[in-house]
Structures are given as C-alpha cells and as structure tokens.
C-alpha cells in the first residue's frame, strides 16, 4: 500500500514532466500575400502529418504594423488568423540602400523568432526555425533527430548546402535545443576565405556556431534519392523539404512568368551553366508539388516511403 501522500506526489511529478511541449516552430514569411498564405497552409499540413505536440508562430516581413492590419505593400495580415499560427512580429520595409535588403529583412525576422524562442525556452523542449517553403516530411523525425544530436552532444541541427558551393550553415531549417539558443545570432556574415570556389560568401549567418561552436552542430545534408535540380527541391537528412525559392512570388503557382534569379537557376558563381538547360521546366515541377504535395515529396526523398507524410 502506498505511503500517505505518495500517490499525490506521483501525480504531481507526472504533471511536472509534461509541462513542456516538445516543439515550438517559427516560420518567416516574405509578406502576407495569398501565395505566402498558401505556403503557410502547406507547411502546417506537413507539420500536422509528421509532428506531435507542437505550436507554431510566424514572423511576417514587409511593411505594416499591428495598428494597421491591412496594408497594400504587406498584404492582408489578418489572412494568417485563419490558421493555427500566432503572428509574433511584422518586419519593417528595407530599401535598396541596404547592403542586402532581402537578406537584411530575413535577418530581422530570424532574430525576431529567436527573441521569442528565448522568452519561451522553459516551455518547450526544442525550437525549429523554418523558411516559409520548408517543412518536415517524415513521421517521427523529431525523436530520430534529437537522438542523433544527443548521441553526438550537439546543440543545433542545421542545413548545409555544398551543392550550392556554400560553406555557411543555412538557416532555412534549424532545430535548436533550449541551451543552443544562446549561441545563435543572425547577421550578415562573411565566411573566411570564401565559398568552395574561394569567392566571397556574404549572406545570412547564424553566429558562433559557424566557427567557435562548430563542434556543437549536427549537419543536415542533402539526401534526395531523386534530384530534379542541383539546388532547388531539396530533401535534407531524409527529414525536411526546402523548395528553395519560396520567397519569390513570380516562380510559384499561377505566377510562373519569370525564371528564378541566377543564383538558383545556375547555382553560385553560375557553376551549373554548362549542364542546366536554359529552358528548364520550373513551371512543370512547381505545379507537381502543388497538385500532389505528398506524392512529390515521397518521390524526391525515396528512402523510407512508409514514413513520409500523407494527408
């Protein structure tokens, strides 16, 4: 027979260890135009199909403020209200006088998410930064990935893209333990000695994990079983998808009137010009994603079809 009060103490203990949720997801969006809302919808569908016990927050770039909920430059931010996400910030417009206006705006959003994550560090076990066009695709990914991180004593897991000649960690997908948040700081960051072609690499950096804390990083490398392009349509560690040009409205559903910018068409430094067809069928592959998202992802990833998302 239990000692007096033991049953109550046991219930209290079980309640305490379940106080934290497994995951807080934070995503960045270029603005609140309908195509960005489509990406939010798709991201949430994949999260729901692959991830247990998570909350979702969004940081929306562009112009606007909470006192002006509708702005022609930003889009109608209230459109996010129809989805299970909380908009925790709206970025200010950047001008072409900034060294890299798009990167600077993205940095503002990432640091906004980081500040929010730090304020919630005692309420969640893990924190996931996502670009608007990135999401987990495999059931059980969180347990599998954190087990690897624990085995190797790593504080964060993040994409690396040697396929684009990059040496920097790429924050399109970044999972952090609570103690890993303090080593993150998003900024325009030079990579010493440049990229894999020794050309200057100045882009969104993640702070101390690039060098001083490099031994605390679990790399998420490209693992596509089927590659449709050397940079775009990427599967990472058989767990995540990154569309790669999701922030550019003109290459998405119903708006395929222009090609992506050169760094995506040909790779950094125009590396792939000799083997990428200039008439590459962006529209065809983009539409395949939207017509059958889970089938498209399962075909690209290919290694463990029974565990990929279905909805």
Residue range 201-218: mean pLDDT, rounded: 95
Domain contains 12: no
Residue range 296-304: mean pLDDT, rounded: 95
- In CATH, what number is assigned to the domain containing residue 271? 3.90.550
Q: Is the pLDDT of residue 6 over 70?
A: no
Domain contains 1: no
Could you report the per-residue pLDDT of 242-265, keeping only the tens digit for each?
998 755 544 444 444 445 666 677
Residue range 199-220: mean pLDDT, rounded: 95
Indicate the pLDDT class of residue 65, thresholds 50, 70 and 90.
very low
Domain contains 13: no
Q: Is the pLDDT of residue 266 over 50?
A: yes
The sign of the CA dihedral 303, 306, 308, 310 is positive
Could you report the per-residue pLDDT of 144-174, keeping only the tens digit for each?
999 999 999 999 999 999 999 999 999 999 9
- What lies within 8 Å, CB to CB, of 187 at 6+ separation is 107, 204, 205, 207
Tell how far CA 19 is from the center of its chain: 26
* 234-236, strands of its sheet edge to edge: 134-136, 240-242, 234-236
Domain contains 124: yes
Domain contains 173: yes
Residue range 42-60: mean pLDDT, rounded: 97
Mean confidence (pLDDT) of the chain: 85
Indicate the pLDDT class of residue 277, thresholds 50, 70 and 90.
confident
pTM: 0.87
Indicate the pLDDT class of residue 72, thresholds 50, 70 and 90.
very low
Q: Which of 24, 19, 82, 87 is nearest to 51 (CA)?
A: 24
Considering the chain, what percentage of its residues have pLDDT values greater than 90? 62
**Residue 231, phi then psi, degrees to nearest 5:** -120, -45
Tell how far CA 298 is from the center of its chain: 19
- In terms of C-beta distances under 8 Å and separation of at least 24 residues, what long-range contacts does 249-253 make, across chains too? 249/30, 249/33, 249/35, 249/36, 251/282, 251/286, 252/35, 252/38, 252/286, 253/35, 253/38, 253/286, 253/287, 253/290
Residue range 45-73: mean pLDDT, rounded: 75
Specify the number of domains making up the chain.
Answer: 1
Q: Which of 167, 207, 204, 159 is nearest to 183 (CA)?
A: 207
At residue 135, the pLDDT reads 98
Give the range of the structural domain holding residue 234, as residue numbers without chain letter.
18-307
Domain contains 9: no
At residue 248, the pLDDT reads 53
Domain contains 290: yes
Which residue did the predictor score with more confidence, 242 or 63?
A: 242
Domain contains 100: yes
Which residue did the predictor score with more confidence, 49 or 287?
A: 49
Residue range 183-189: mean pLDDT, rounded: 95
């Amino acid at each position: 027979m239990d000692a007096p009060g033991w049953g109550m103490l046991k219930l209290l203990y079980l309640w305490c260890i379940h106080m934290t949720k497994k995951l807080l997801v934070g995503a960045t969006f270029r603005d609140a135009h309908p195509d960005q809302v489509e990406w939010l919808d798709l991201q949430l569908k994949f999260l729901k199909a692959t991830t247990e016990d998570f909350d979702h927050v969004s940081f929306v770039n562009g112009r606007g403020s909470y006192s002006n909920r509708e702005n022609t430059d930003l889009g109608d931010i209230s459109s996010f209200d129809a989805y299970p996400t909380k908009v925790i910030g709206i970025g200010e417009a950047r001008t072409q006088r900034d060294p890299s206006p798009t990167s600077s705006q993205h940095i503002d959003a990432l640091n906004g998410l980081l500040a929010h994550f730090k304020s919630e560090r005692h309420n969640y076990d893990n924190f996931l930064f996502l670009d608007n066009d990135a999401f987990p695709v495999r059931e059980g990914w969180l347990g599998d990935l954190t087990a690897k991180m624990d085995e190797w004593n790593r504080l964060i897991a993040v994409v690396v893209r040697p396929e684009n000649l990059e040496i920097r960690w790429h924050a399109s997908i970044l999972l952090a333990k609570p103690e890993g948040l303090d080593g993150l700081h998003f900024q325009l960051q030079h990579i010493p000695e440049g990229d894999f072609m020794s050309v200057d690499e100045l882009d969104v950096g993640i702070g101390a994990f690039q060098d001083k804390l490099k031994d605390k990083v679990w790399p998420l490398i490209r693992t596509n079983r089927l590659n449709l392009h050397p940079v775009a349509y990427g599967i990472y560690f058989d767990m995540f998808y990154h569309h790669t040009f999701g922030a550019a409205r003109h290459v998405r559903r119903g708006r395929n009137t222009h090609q992506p910018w050169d760094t995506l068409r040909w790779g950094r430094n125009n590396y792939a010009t000799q083997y990428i067809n200039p008439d590459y069928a962006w529209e065809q592959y983009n539409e395949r994603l939207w017509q059958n998202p889970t089938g498209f992802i399962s075909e690209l990833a290919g290694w463990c079809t029974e565990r990929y998302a279905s909805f």
